[in-house]
């Protein structure tokens, strides 16, 4: 008998169990060049992805994160670099800084900075009640 695994994030599950849902701040150039941070719904780790397929860049790094805590996701921009970080109960953890050139291609379009969400479950929705851009 196969036992259904309990979803570590009830708000990301349904009566059929847990499903893959990712959301957080992102830097988006196009489908082939982006950087984003999200919480892995299976492990609770925070994941940073930096992708530029034209330059063969597909980096993922993980940081351990406690379950059930309020998380503040942050993005810091400087002329030559980006730094993603997250805060829990006043304690901030930073991912490695990466060069803005990692997302550059032969175009004139600047990056779009915003919030993304993607989910494997149809008819899913997420609410960002405390979204703040400063």
What percentage of the chain reaches a pLDDT higher than 70? 80
Query: Does 128 have pLDDT greater than 60?
Result: yes
User: What domains does the chain contain, in order, with CATH numbers?
Assistant: 19-118 (2.60.120.200)
The verdict on pTM exceeding 0.85 is: no
pLDDT value of position 56:
94
Mean pLDDT for 3-16 is 39
CA distance 42 to 8: 7
Q: Please give the DSSP secondary-structure letter assigned to residue 55.
A: G
CA distance 108 to 100: 14
């Amino acid at each position: 008998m196969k036992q259904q695994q309990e979803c570590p994030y009830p708000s990301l599950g349904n009566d059929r169990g847990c499903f893959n849902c990712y959301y957080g701040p992102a830097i988006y150039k196009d489908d082939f060049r982006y950087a984003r941070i999200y919480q892995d719904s299976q492990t609770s780790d925070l994941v940073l992805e930096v992708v530029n397929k034209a330059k063969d860049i597909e980096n993922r790094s993980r940081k351990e994160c406690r379950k059930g805590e309020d998380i503040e996701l942050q993005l810091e921009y400087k002329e030559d670099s980006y730094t993603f970080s997250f805060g829990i109960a006043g304690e901030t953890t930073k991912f490695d800084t990466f060069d803005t050139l990692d997302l550059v291609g032969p175009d004139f379009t600047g990056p779009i900075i915003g919030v993304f969400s993607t989910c494997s479950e149809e008819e899913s929705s997420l609410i960002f009640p405390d979204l703040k851009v400063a």
